[in-house]
Structure 1
Amino acid sequence: MNALRQAPAPAVAQALKDITALGSFFSIELGGPDEGWHPVEDAYARGVADLIAATADRYDTRELRIGASIVQLGHAARLWSPVLACTVVHGIVPDLDRLHRADDGPALRLPAAPTGWYAPETPRLPDVLYEVVVARHLDALAAGLRVKVAPRLLAGNAASALVEAARAVLAARPDLREPLTDLVDGLLNTRRLAGTGNVVGPDLSFRRRSCCLYYRVPSGAKCGDCSLA
């Protein structure tokens, strides 16, 4: 990653601010006071137990693995969405190494001037995005979980969140269909994401090969991309 050409902090910040218009999952707060936030690595080390317990309670289930799956899926969406949108829309891959999480919820923040790299000058772009999101964040979250969740389920969640983020970008910028589809295809053939599912339609509809378990909560149902649907 050190060999990649750095983008200036103001350009990265502007890209991150611009893509928040795509929805709440695309929002990462920038700067501000540290009170109310903590390094996301601390949350990973604690197995995001606070969010899992709160989520299981909100969905009225005693199965903590369901809460863990929902939390991990949501976190994956909050990582993929801004990274994918900044990369495709602005040609900048944001660096999420110094990410913070809110003390009372899943919101994310970069406490200092954001850094990143120019995507058009980045070789093996899917590998770089995989490193930013999966290797540096989702793998650490999975390693810290205190509840057992199947690795392929978590990988399927990561793939599902990736494609859903891409669908949101495509809806807003249909002119970016080709680079967006190429990048998603490349990511779905990268390391842990390989074999998790397939894009099955021009609108980037997706069929995964695992289930996030949401259907097991009292008010739940099978998701549109579920292998059980």
Structure 2
Amino acid sequence: MRDVAALGGFFVLRVGGPDAGWQPLGRSYARGCTDLAEAVARRHRAREARIGVSIAQLGHAARLWSPALACVPLHGIVPDLARLERAADGPALRLPHPAGLRADRLPSPSLALYEQVTGHLDALARGLRVKVAPRLLDGNSASALVEAARALLAARPALRGPLTVLTTELLATGRLVGTGGITGPDLAFRRRSCCLYYRAPGGSKCGDCGLAR
């Protein structure tokens, strides 16, 4: 996890350390991560509550997918995210103790990875206090996945083959099916939905937005 965190940004998943300042993610999910969504809405001056919810969920998806995805091709491990915690004052994530599954001992590493990450995203979706289209949230998950893969590819280009295979398998799994498709050799992606960022003051359509032309 230290090696993966060195990739920066969303790849940071803290492990161990003092327990003060961290809370079980289940508590945040039960509240729909309302504090994160409201903070995002204030930052972007968004009047529609669903904009803050969507962007906050997209950011959370990126913090889940990025380190979990990178651990598979880099170290052959699918992290066990069951005990994941969130910082009490922000979106940072932590595992109290390192745990994971050896990818070469799993019948389908991509399915195991999918279940680890989407289990969290499904729990968040169930707790949302604002109505957001389920397929928009699925599109956010797919977008976060592919952006994580693109960032990893840029940092470790030797992983192109296995990383492309893993990303393609994930996009063909469960709720990610039909969310979009890879359109280029460097994992360029076009989703079929929109995260709503363009509806915030000063916002715009993202590079993979289904509404972009």
Please indicate the TM-score interval, normalised by the length of the shorter structure.
Answer: over 0.9
Helix, strand or coil for the counterpart of 1:22?
Answer: coil
| 1:139 alignment counterpart | 122
CA–CA distance in structure 2, aligned partners of residues 48 and 187 of structure 1: 25
Structure 1: which 5+ residue stretches go unaligned? 1-15
Q: Does 1:37 align with 2:5?
A: no
- Identify the residue that residue 93 of structure 1 maps to in structure 2: 78
Structural mapping, 1:63-82, within 5 Å: 63-82=48-67
Amino acid at match of 1:164: E
Q: Cα RMSD (Å) of the superposition?
A: 0.7
Matched, 1:181 2:164: yes
Residue of 126, 129, 137 corresponding to 2:110 = 126
Name the structure 2 match of 1:13. none
The TM-score normalised by the length of structure 1 is 0.91
Taking the aligned partners of 1:157 and 1:73, their CA distance within structure 2 comes to 5
Shift of 1:45: 0.3
- The C-alpha deviation readout for 1:148-193, integer Å capped at 9, x for no partner, is 0000000000000000000011011111111101111111010100
CA distance in 2, matches of 1:171, 1:61: 32
Q: Sequence identity of aligned pairs in percent?
A: 67
What is the distance in 2 between the residues matched to 1:30 and 1:183? 25
Q: Which runs of 4+ in 1 moved over 3 A?
A: none
Letter in 1 for 2:188: S
TM-score, normalization by structure 2: 0.98
Q: Is 1:114 aligned to residue 102 of structure 2?
A: no
1:25 is matched with 10
Q: Which residue of 1 aligns with 2:36?
A: 51
Q: How far is 1:121 from its partner?
A: 2.1
- List alignment gaps of at least 5 residues for structure 2: none
Residues 1:203 and 2:181 are matched in the alignment? no
2:137 is paired with a residue whose SS is helix
Tell me the equivalent position of 1:224.
207
Within 2, Cα distance between the matches of 1:63 and 1:102?
26
Number of equivalenced pairs: 212
Contact 2:136 2:193 in 1 (8 A): yes
Q: Deviations over 1:183-215 (max 9, x none)?
A: 111110101000000000001010000000000
Please, which of 95, 105, 117 is the counterpart of residue 90 of structure 2? 105
Q: Is the 8 A contact 2:78 2:109 kept in 1?
A: no
Cα distance in 2 for partners of 1:88, 1:166 equals 11
